[in-house]
Amino acid sequence: MSDRLPGFSTLAVHAGAQPDPTTGARATPIYQTTSFVFNDADHAASLFGLQSFGNIYTRIGNPTNAVLEERVAALEGGTAALAVASGHAAQVVVMQQLLQPGDEFIAARKLYGGSINQFTHSFKSFGWNVVWADPDDIASFERAVTPRTKAIFVESIANPGGSITDIEAISTVARKAGVPLIVDNTLATPYLIKPIDHGADIVVHSLTKFLGGHGNSIGGVIVDAGTFDWSKDGKYPMLSEPRPEYHGIKLHETFGNFAFAIACRVLGLRDLGPALSPFNAFLILTGIETLPLRMQKHCDNAKAIAEFLSGHSAVASVSYAGLAGDRYNQLARKYAPKGAGAVFTFSLKGGYDAGVSLVSKLTLFSHLANVGDTRSLVIHPASTTHSQLDDAAKVKSGAGPDVVRLSIGIEDKEDLIADLDQALGA
């Protein structure tokens, strides 16, 4: 019974799960129920008042989802986590705890197109103002800090170009500014990069991608690193001030180093409502059990394909941090030594038309708007995921008109290379 930190693969299989106490079921049961009975009126009152741990209603928490939450928290090295309906829901719930109307947050310009869209347009209607900075220029984050800045948001491996973010450098800026650093770790997963080890205070994921890994369930998660002092200067009243909806409880004072995850649950999930279905949680949990095996195969395949493409006469350039000559290769060696992920872009000498032709000729790669599936995927970001951006913003986010994005699956790499070769050659 000594304290021994198990390896990543052991946590991926075991963390958060145990045999079901009533039935002995070894796989995590799908608790497909909306509600949970109370023992008595006093029990109900203490659950509603946050005085007891327990289940009330699946919009606020569910035992299947709780296993998923603890597992992701364990894999990321966080104190707690909250599962939500999607990666986008995770971002809304996080920002609701941090920003009041009129506040600002700084975000890296290189982000998933859907996040750029959410931050630019939807968040504006909440009075949350995004200020963009360049992840390749750390000083641009420092310059963007104002007294209204409440958070900094980056992706560990940025979509779509697969560039690697210098999380430690940006966490230094965040610490100096007295704001939490939020890292979207979707494309890396904790198997490749553990942002909390590099100074992240909050980690978010789209579980839809590599964590779930099979392209069958939408989900998101928020991980609390337990590192930020929410009560230091009154900048985060959702955590430091008495909450009228809970009889004046102060969440940080009551829940200590997992107060942020609790705030996301009892203020965010409860009131905004983006609950994850327990069935999706079950599928994602099953996916996570094989994350280390899949992720290594994804990365090994991606590197082989990036090398093949960079030697192909029809290809103008390949943007993959795992390649020796790539501008992000040094950062990849530091942050993601096991592999630089499996999502990257390349551009074709034939420009936009060649990209469209390639996509139509591929037979194994599926043309769709997702990444992180067992299957290999291809998309033309300029006309799809990043289509709502103007041309300058497309180029800045790594999604210019000649760019094709690949998400490499876990098929045999020889078959993927043959498919690309025939589609590029003809």
Partner 1 sequence: MNHDAYPDNYIRGILNSVKSIAMVGASPVNVRPSYFAFKYLAQRGYDMIPVNPGHIGKELLGKPFVASLHDIGRPVDMIDIFRNSSHIMPVVEEALKLDPLPKVIWMQLGARDDAAAEKAEAAGIKVVMNRCPKIEYGRLSSEISWMGVNSRTLSSKRPPAPTQGMQLSLNRMSVGGGNTAAADRAAKNKTEQS
Q: CB-wise, 196 or 403, nearer to partner 1?
A: 196
Contacts of 261 (CB under 8 A, 6+ apart): 73, 78, 79, 80, 81, 82, 222, 223, 224
Tokens for 236?
């985060």
Q: CB-wise, 25 or 369, nearer to partner 1?
A: 25
Q: Which residues of 218-246 are buried (b: 16+ CB within 10 A; e: fewer)?
A: bbbbbbbbbbbebbeeebbebbbeebeeb
Minimum distance from residue 195 beta carbon to partner 1 (Å): 10
Single out the residue of 296, 378, 376 nearest to residue 341, CA to CA.
296
Binding site for partner 1 (CB under 8 A): 1-6, 10-11, 14-16, 18-22, 24, 39-40, 43, 46, 49-55, 61, 63, 65-67, 69-70, 73-74, 77-83, 196-197, 225-229, 242, 246-249, 253-258, 261-262, 265
Minimum distance from residue 177 beta carbon to partner 1 (Å): 16
Q: CB-wise, 172 or 370, nearer to partner 1?
A: 172
Minimum distance from residue 118 beta carbon to partner 1 (Å): 23
Write the single-letter amino acid at 400. Answer: G
Residue whose pair of structure tokens reads 């995590």 in the numeric block: 28
Minimum distance from residue 119 beta carbon to partner 1 (Å): 25
Minimum distance from residue 31 beta carbon to partner 1 (Å): 11
Q: CB-wise, 281 or 410, nearer to partner 1?
A: 281
Q: CB-wise, 229 or 411, nearer to partner 1?
A: 229
φ, ψ of residue 420 to 5 degrees: the values are -65, -40
Q: Report the largest interatomic distance among the alpha carbons of the chain, rounded to a whole angstrom.
A: 73
Q: CB-wise, 17 or 306, nearer to partner 1?
A: 17
Minimum distance from residue 27 beta carbon to partner 1 (Å): 12
Residue whose pair of structure tokens reads 């963390």 in the numeric block: 15
Residue whose pair of structure tokens reads 């795992």 in the numeric block: 322
Minimum distance from residue 270 beta carbon to partner 1 (Å): 13
Q: CB-wise, 67 or 309, nearer to partner 1?
A: 67
Q: CB-wise, 119 or 255, nearer to partner 1?
A: 255
Check whether the bond before 160 is cis (ω within 30° of 0): yes
For 340, how many CA atoms within 13 A lie in the half-sphere containing its CB? Answer: 31
Minimum distance from residue 154 beta carbon to partner 1 (Å): 17
